[in-house]
Structure 1
Amino acid sequence: MPVLRAACSSAGIEMGEARRVPFGTAAGYRLPSGVVVRISGPGRRPEARHELEAARWLAASGISTPRAVPGVRQPIDIHGRSVTFWLDPLPHEQSTLAEMGSTLQRLHQLAPPAGFSLDHFRPFLGLTEEIDAAEVFTDDDRGWLHQHVTELRGRWADLPSGLQWCVVHGEAWHAEFAATDDHEVLLMSAENLTIGPPEWDLVPTALEFRSFGWITAADYARFCDGYHHDVTRWGGFYLLRDIRELLMTMAAARAAAADPALRRQAMLRLSCIRGDEGPRQWPGWEPLP
């Protein structure tokens, strides 16, 4: 862990016996002091700075989120990686789906920040290059994926009206929401905050029920009750569903490049979105490690 060791030295923080731990849908290293260290992918300094600013803004707006360690100028850049240091949250466990829904509703009601800017939601950003780089897929697969993106772009131009665009989390999966012992809900990361359609944050939980069977109908109803809205009743749901499933397929392709054991998962996801596996629910989709 040379990057971790160098970053701790630069920050003046004792590394000790660091332990890898989940941190929302990402991962971090917990130090004996309780500090959690996050190491970004290569070339992601703007995203690391964005998360620090967004976390400060969320806390000031009444949305609980992990706090950056005070007194440390960050992010710290080590060998092309940006490193951030966070105070270990209070003891917590995964939130209920109702708590998640109500927290998303509170987030969506916030006025956009004045102290820094948020990008506008761009669902297809970088997809063309990502498909070209996906070596796990064949040339025919990549050709189909490019055609699929073209179709989705056309549908995006005719997205039906929905809820008013607002601050959205961007990757609102259940693992991103935790609850402390005193029932305070923590939003575990803020790196993907944008201005976009609030429905984008509601689609992941709908997929967990309708596409993958990861949760039950009763679970999904509790989420809808928490947010006071069911995104599946909106005409634009099917487009956002299809975009999400494509992005999940590309995430599996990226993961398979680093871990060949995930190649089967990437190929299954592609087969599903191509229509080769029949109607949803699709068995076999598994959360990536």
Structure 2
Amino acid sequence: MAGHHRRAGSPRPGRHRTAHAGRGSARHLVDPASRPSTGDRRRTRSSAQAGPRADRARVTAAPAARPFSGVDAAIAHATTITERDRAWLDRLLAGLRSEYAVLQDTLPRCVIHGDAWQGNLAVPRDGAPTLVDLDHFGIGPREWDLAPFTVDYTDFSRITAAEYGEFVAAYGGYDMTTQPYYRTLATTMELRWIAFALRKANSDPHAALEARHRLACLRGDIEPPWRWTAF
């Protein structure tokens, strides 16, 4: 992959109990006393991704996932960054789009949620865990749905090495961090979270500070593990 964006350092143990990037607390559908377990995440992703491979007609008919949707507009309309920052983000976005186009043609496709961070995982006291908020539902590589959990480990240390190891084992030994395309997916995810902050920053001074912090992280000015706060 092109070396145009920051590569995270080695995954570090430990945990920062901060809210997810660009997000507040989990939705009301989620039991506030319950944190999705590694098994919850694995079972939900497995059930969501199992069927489409057996029905290629439905895969063809469903919309393609769009991981870059709205990112270019957020950058273009941002009022709290410098033109130098805007140019850097535009170059990053262009590079990531090119890389994603290559891996999209390489990796198998299936039905994916498209925004599978833990706040979109409802875990009832009784019953199976369920993914909610299907705005980004579509056809794409399963790895896109695995990226939020993996990024929480490699770049933010929100989960421990043991927890990530449990997730990998539950997913049949498939370790995203060892894949050559992982950094492309991770950086794309983080750019989306920056875009979210930039949209808020136009009217919220606190979001503007957070957006600049996130940009500094992605640019390599701040070493991981990072702390990104919600607003």
Root mean square deviation of aligned Cα:
3.0
Aligned to 1:136: 80
Query: Whole-Å Cα distance in 2 between the matches of residues 89 and 251 of structure 1?
Result: 22
- Structure number with higher helix proportion: 2
Deviation string 1:247-269 (CA, Å, 9 cap, x unpaired) is 11111111222422122211011
- Ranges in structure 2 where 5+ consecutive residues have no aligned partner: 1-22
Aligned to 2:66: 122
Aligned to 1:244: 189
TM-score by length of 1: 0.62
Aligned to 2:9: none
Matched, 1:156 2:123: no
Paired residues, number:
205
Matched, 1:267 2:217: no
Query: Whole-Å Cα distance in 1 between the matches of residues 131 and 33 of structure 2?
Result: 11
Larger Rg: 1
Deviation string 1:162-187 (CA, Å, 9 cap, x unpaired) is 65200001111112113222242122
Quick one: percent identity of the two aligned structures? Answer: 30
Letter matched to residue 246 of structure 1? L
What is the 5 A alignment of 1:145-184?
145-159=89-103, 163-184=107-128
Cα separation, partners in 2 of 1:137 and 1:91, compared to 1, 3 Å: closer
Matched, 1:285 2:228: yes
Letter matched to residue 181 of structure 2? G
Deviation string 1:234-280 (CA, Å, 9 cap, x unpaired) is 111111111111111111111222422122211011011111113x3
What is the 5 A alignment of 1:88-99?
93-99=34-40
- Structure number with higher strand proportion: 1
Q: Secondary structure at the match of 1:94?
A: coil
Aligned to 1:19: none
Identify which of 139, 142, 147 aligns with 1:195.
139
Q: Which moved more, 1:180-189 or 1:144-153?
A: 180-189
Cα separation, partners in 2 of 1:106 and 1:28, compared to 1, 3 Å: closer
Letter matched to residue 273 of structure 1? L
| Cα displacement (A) at 1:106 | 1.4
Cα separation, partners in 2 of 1:245 and 1:90, compared to 1, 3 Å: closer
TM-score by length of 2: 0.77
Moved over 3 A (4+): 25-30, 88-94, 160-163
